[in-house]
Amino acid sequence: MATRDRFLTLMLLSLVYGGITFQQAGALGVCLDIGQNHAGSIIGLVNTSAQVGGLLSSVAYGYIVERFANYDAPFVPLAALLFLGAMLWFRIDASKELSRTTAPEPAVAVVTCPKLIG
């Protein structure tokens, strides 16, 4: 949106992609710190939420382009949502676990068979 120069556009897109790639390690680290024994579930929940957001933003992108007849128009609400998401990360305290209680051990059924006398 900010430039029409192809080289500058490529450089800006590369910087954005690099930022997205470098933030993933921090996001997974936060999931590990918060989730502890349930980190896999937390990471799965985060990934699922991101995929739903990706699906909805792809659909919204098409509708916004059709409505405004401009391919730059969808970047405004998408950038606002990305900024909101970045601000929400400041509210996360990774030093606090999601839950300090542990799940109860599963009950194991003990089945006894009488001795067969043969």
Per-residue pLDDT of 2-27, as tens digits, reads: 788 999 989 998 998 898 888 888 88
In Å, the largest CA–CA distance within the chain is 92
- In the chain, pLDDT over 70 holds for what percent of residues? 82
Q: What pLDDT score was predicted for residue 33? A: 87
- Distance, in Å, from the CA atom of 78 to the CA atom of 72, rounded to the nearest integer, reads 11
Of the two residues 107 and 31, the one the predictor is more confident about is: 31
Query: DSSP H helical segments within the chain, as ranges?
Result: 6-35, 39-68, 75-89
